[in-house]
């Protein structure tokens, strides 16, 4: 069973209303090219929930070695504040992934993102590598989290085995651009061509107690479009958004943080539920609408997200 962390893992079972106190906030996941020390230093100050130091798509083949060394040094010397320190290595089977991990793991990142995951085998490999590194360095077992980027047709059809591969896995990330290329789809602003896969990722994440992080919005000058897509992802159940530009951090953080009205309504629902439970009443009416257990759980999730984002 996967470790329960993140917005989508607030409840330990279907009957529990106890928030998970160890949830990690991942509203904004900013990719930064690992071969640019200047960009890494800047990213560490921008307030993204996650700064992902990239060795894959954001780095040219000729710069892979430079990126590894830059990331190793950055992890050891830069203060990232409250931002999660994540690294993205190259895909399993690429011939680059082992060296990526070997030369950067000494920086003890908080998490490792594996792209183009298509099977449990890839995650088993990464889990074994991280376990060996933790044992060799005397670090806490399971302390380095794993995230799986699912962005191919084969990855989508194998979501069940991917999501259940290892307790170290804490999130699934949906990659729409690579998936569209893989299946021969044409990307559109409406994103209906990837809607099935987008839904499948968030559904499997919820089924296995994982977070789900939504696709990239490529036009970093279109703030309204970004906000619209973030809100749609939030409504689908996603916990956060992959970002490719600093301008996208504030809109993503805003979209995935409950506003004052949502928090106030959630509090009223929970308080009313507790009062009715004390008198032996199950379902009840509030503001002319029926409130039952699914509604109460949704309200608890809103409050848990607010607390995690510092809006309690």
Structure confidence by residue, pLDDT tens digits, 110-161? 999 999 999 999 999 999 999 999 999 999 999 999 999 999 999 999 999 9
DSSP label of 235: H
135 vs 12, higher pLDDT: 135
Q: Give the pLDDT score at 288.
A: 79
> Closest Cα to residue 247, out of 288, 274, 219?
219
Distance CA 55, CA 35 (A): 8
Sign of the Cα torsion 233, 239, 242, 248 reads positive
DSSP string, 23-76: ----SEEEEEETT-HHHHHHHTTS--SEEEEESSTTS-GGGHHHHHHHHHHHHH
User: In the structure, what pLDDT confidence band is assigned to residue 272 with cuts at 50, 70 and 90?
Assistant: confident
Chain segment 274-296, per-residue pLDDT in tens: 777 777 767 767 787 887 787 77
Q: Give the pLDDT score at 4.
A: 32
Distance CA 215, CA 200 (A): 13
Q: Give the pLDDT score at 278.
A: 75
Catalytic pick from 182, 259, 260, 292?
Answer: 292
Q: Give the pLDDT score at 3.
A: 32
DSSP label of 193: G
Q: Which residues contact 226 (CB under 8 A, 6 or more apart)?
A: 217, 219, 220, 248, 251, 252
User: Taking the domain 7-256, which CATH number applies?
Assistant: 3.20.20.60
Structure tokens at 108: 């003890």
User: In the structure, what pLDDT confidence band is assigned to residue 303 with cuts at 50, 70 and 90?
Assistant: low
Chain segment 68-106, per-residue pLDDT in tens: 999 999 999 999 999 999 999 999 999 999 999 999 999
Chain segment 197-225, per-residue pLDDT in tens: 999 999 999 999 999 999 999 999 999 99
- For residue 49, indicate whether it is catalytic: no
What is the number of other CB atoms lying within 10 angstroms of the CB of residue 224? Answer: 8
Q: Write out the residue limits of the CATH 3.20.20.60 domain(s) in the chain.
A: 7-256
pLDDT at residue 228 tops 80: yes
Report yes or no: 120 and 155 within 8 Å, Cβ to Cβ: no
């Amino acid at each position: 069973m996967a470790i329960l962390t993140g917005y989508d893992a607030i409840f330990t079972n279907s009957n529990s209303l106890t928030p998970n106190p160890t949830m990690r906030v991942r509203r904004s996941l900013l990719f930064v090219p690992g071969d640019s020390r200047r960009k890494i230093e800047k990213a560490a100050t921008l307030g993204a929930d996650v700064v992902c130091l990239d060795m894959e798509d954001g780095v040219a083949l000729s710069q892979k070695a430079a990126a590894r060394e830059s990331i190793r040094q950055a992890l050891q010397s830069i203060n990232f504040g409250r931002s999660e320190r994540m690294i993205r290595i190259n895909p399993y089977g690429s011939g680059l992934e082992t060296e990526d991990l070997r030369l950067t793991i000494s920086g003890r990142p908080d998490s490792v993102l594996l792209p183009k995951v298509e099977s449990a085998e890839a995650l088993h490999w990464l889990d074994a590598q991280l376990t060996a590194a933790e044992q060799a360095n005397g670090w806490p077992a399971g302390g380095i989290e794993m995230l799986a980027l699912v962005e191919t047709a084969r990855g989508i059809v194998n979501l069940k085995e991917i999501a259940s591969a290892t307790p170290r896995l804490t999130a699934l990330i949906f990659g729409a651009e690579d998936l569209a290329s893989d299946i021969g789809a044409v990307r559109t602003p409406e994103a209906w061509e990837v809607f099935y896969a987008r839904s499948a990722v968030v559904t499997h994440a919820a089924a296995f107690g994982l977070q789900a992080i939504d696709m990239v919005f490529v036009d970093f000058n279109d703030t309204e479009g970004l906000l619209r897509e973030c809100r749609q992802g939030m409504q689908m159940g996603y916990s956060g958004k992959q970002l490719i530009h600093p301008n996208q951090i504030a809109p993503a953080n805003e979209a995935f943080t409950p506003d004052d009205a949502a928090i106030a309504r959630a509090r009223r629902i929970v308080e009313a539920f507790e009062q009715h439970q004390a008198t032996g009443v199950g379902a009840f009416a509030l503001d002319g609408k029926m409130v039952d257990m699914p509604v109460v759980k949704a309200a608890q999730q809103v409050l848990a997200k607010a607390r995690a984002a510092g809006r309690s």
